[in-house]
């Protein structure tokens, strides 16, 4: 089974990606700092979970784009 994330993490990560899509990368450390700037989280663990999920979503999006490019080529 995969990781189970609470809906707060998913909702917050998707909202941040929607608002600041160009600010996030595939680098967790970079995303962690950006999340710290944008969201006031009650704990470091929650901030890291949000940053990790953002990193995960960006990697999924990159893989999807690469697959589409390979299909069209």
pLDDT digits (tens, 9 = 90+) for 12-26: 999 999 999 999 999
The CA-based angle 2-51-24, given to 5 degrees, is 120
Q: Is the pLDDT of residue 72 over 90?
A: no
Quote the pLDDT of residue 1: 61
- How many other C-beta atoms are found inside a 10 Å radius of the C-beta of residue 24? 20
For 15, the token pair is 């909202």
Note the pTM of the prediction, 2 decimals: 0.90
Measured distance CA(3)–CA(34) in Å, rounded: 23
| Domain extent listing, the chain | 10-15+26-68
pLDDT digits (tens, 9 = 90+) for 30-71: 999 999 999 999 999 999 999 999 999 999 999 999 999 998
């Amino acid at each position: 089974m995969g990781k189970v994330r609470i809906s707060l993490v998913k909702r917050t990560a998707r909202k941040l990606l929607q608002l600041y899509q160009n600010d996030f990368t595939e680098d967790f450390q970079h995303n962690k700092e950006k999340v710290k700037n944008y969201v006031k989280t009650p704990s470091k663990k929650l901030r890291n979970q949000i940053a990790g999920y953002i990193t995960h979503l960006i990697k999924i999006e990159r893989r999807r784009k690469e697959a589409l490019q390979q299909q069209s080529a």
